[in-house]
Amino acid sequence: MKITFNKSIKVKSATVYMRLKKDVLRTDIQEYLNGRRFDNSLINNRINAYLKEIGVYNDENQITALGESVKQTGFLPTSEEGKYKIWFTSKDRYFGNVILYFHRESPYPNSLVNELDLGFSKEGHFLIPAQKDKNEENDYTQFTLTKSELCGALNQNSDTICAILILEDDKQTTCYFSGHIGKEGKIVFKQNSPVPRSDNLKEIITNILPNYEPKYDRLKIEFRPEYKDFKIKNYACNWKDFSGMIDSVKLMPYDLENAILWRDYLLREKISEKYLTPRDFESNAKEITDEDAFKKFRNQLRIPDLHFFQTKSQTEFWHLNAPIDLDPND
C-alpha cells in the first residue's frame, strides 16, 4: 500500500538570535573511528583528546554511544549560535511550529532585543534541501534549539511552498518540498531531495479509514459487485490538511451477512462459466472462502445449499443440474 499526500504550506519568516545544535558531516572523524591513524603519535594523541572533549570518546579512550553514531553515519551534532533569518510554520496541522530553513545574517546592526514566543519546542527542526545559487546548496539537516524562546523581529511577508508526503509499506516515510522563499524567491527547494519522516503508515490508515481492520490489513465495506476483487484502486482521502490518494486498498466484508452475499455472488459467477458437479460446487465454495478477505468469517461460512442456486437462473440451473442428470451412478 502506498499513500501520496500533498498540500500547500504557509511559511513565515523572522530574523532572530539563536543557539542551535545540528548534524555536521565529519568524514575525517568517521575515518579515524573506523581505523585510520597518522604516523605521528602526537597527532593521534591530540585527536584522541579532542574526541574526549566532544564526547566521542570517554576518559578511557573508549568509544561512546555518540561515537558509535558518528562512526556509522559520519554526522556529528555540533553547536553554533548567531544571528539568523529563519523560515517556519505556525500552527500547521501536520508540522506544527517548526523551523524549515535558516541561513546566517550579518551580526550588524544588532537590534534583536524583542523576545519572540513562536511556539517552538527544542526538537523537530530541520533544513529543507535547497539551492541559493549555482554554487551554494545545502542538504537535509536536523537540528535542535538550545533555547526555544528567541529574540528577534518578525517579518511581515510570508511564502507558500508545496509538500508531498509519501508513505509506503516497508519503506522510510519521506517528504518532498518545492517552491521558492526569501528575497525575490532566490532560495529554491530541491524538489527531488527527500526529507525523512517517522510517520507510521498503519496508524494513519486507521485514522483516515474508520472501518479499517489493522489485524487483517483491510477496509470493511458492504458488498458491491464492482469490488468483487477485494480492492479499490486510487482511493481519495484527506488527513491533516493534506489531500491524499491511496494506490490500492484491500477490502473485506463488513459483517457476516455481507460475507455471505459476497461469497454467493462470486460462486454464481463460477457457476455461470461452466458445468459443476455437486463435488465441484462444494470445492468452488471452499476455494472462495479460503480467500484472505474472508479470513475473519471463514469459520462461520458453511457450504451453501446447492438447491438454492439451482433455481436462480436458466444458466445456473443447467450448469448445476446437467452434470447430475448425466451421472450414470446417480
Instruction: Give per-10-residue mean pLDDT for the chain (330 aa).
Output: 96 94 92 94 94 94 95 92 94 97 85 84 94 79 90 91 95 95 87 92 92 94 93 95 96 96 94 89 94 95 86 78 69
Pair 158, 234 in one domain: no
Give the end of a domain, one of 197, 230, 264.
197
Number of domains in the chain: 2
Exposure string of 198-233, with b = 16+ CB inside 10 Å and e = fewer, is: ebebeebbeebbeebeeeeebbbbebeeebeebebe
Pair 179, 206 in one domain: no
State residue 329's pLDDT score. 63
Strand residues in 172-295 grouped as ranges (E):
173-178, 180-181, 187-189, 195-197, 212-213, 218-221, 231-239, 242-253
Pair 186, 219 in one domain: no
Residue from 167, 170, 185, 1 nearest 87 by CA: 185
Pair 122, 205 in one domain: no
Q: Is residue 65 part of a domain?
A: no
Give the end of a domain, one of 141, 171, 197.
197
Q: Is residue 51 part of a domain?
A: no
Q: Is residue 87 part of a domain?
A: yes
Pair 87, 187 in one domain: yes
State residue 73's pLDDT score. 93
Pair 14, 132 in one domain: yes
pTM of the shown model: 0.80
State residue 139's pLDDT score. 86
State residue 320's pLDDT score. 83
Residue 190: CB partners within 8 Å, gap ≥ 6? Answer: 129, 130, 131, 137
Q: Residue 270 in contact with residue 284, Cβ under 8 Å?
A: yes
Pair 95, 13 in one domain: yes
Q: Is residue 68 part of a domain?
A: no
Give me the amino acid identity at 291.
Answer: E
Give the end of a domain, one of 180, 197, 214.
197
Pair 108, 224 in one domain: no
Pair 271, 126 in one domain: no
State residue 24's pLDDT score. 87
State residue 17's pLDDT score. 92
Q: Is residue 304 part of a domain?
A: yes
- When computed from its CA atoms, the radius of gyration of the chain, rounded to whole angstroms, is 31
State residue 149's pLDDT score. 86
Q: Which residue range forms the structural domain that includes residue 146?
A: 2-26+74-197
Alpha-carbon span 56 to 76, nearest angstrom:
9
Strand-pair partners of 126: 142
Give the three-class secondary structure for 160: strand
Q: Is residue 253 part of a domain?
A: yes
Q: Residue 263 in contact with residue 289, Cβ under 8 Å?
A: yes
State residue 326's pLDDT score. 65
Pair 193, 205 in one domain: no
Alpha-carbon span 288 to 270, nearest angstrom:
10
Pair 217, 304 in one domain: yes
State residue 309's pLDDT score. 82
Q: Is residue 56 part of a domain?
A: no
DSSP H helices, 274-301, are 278-289
Q: Is residue 64 part of a domain?
A: no
Pair 170, 210 in one domain: no
State residue 328's pLDDT score. 59
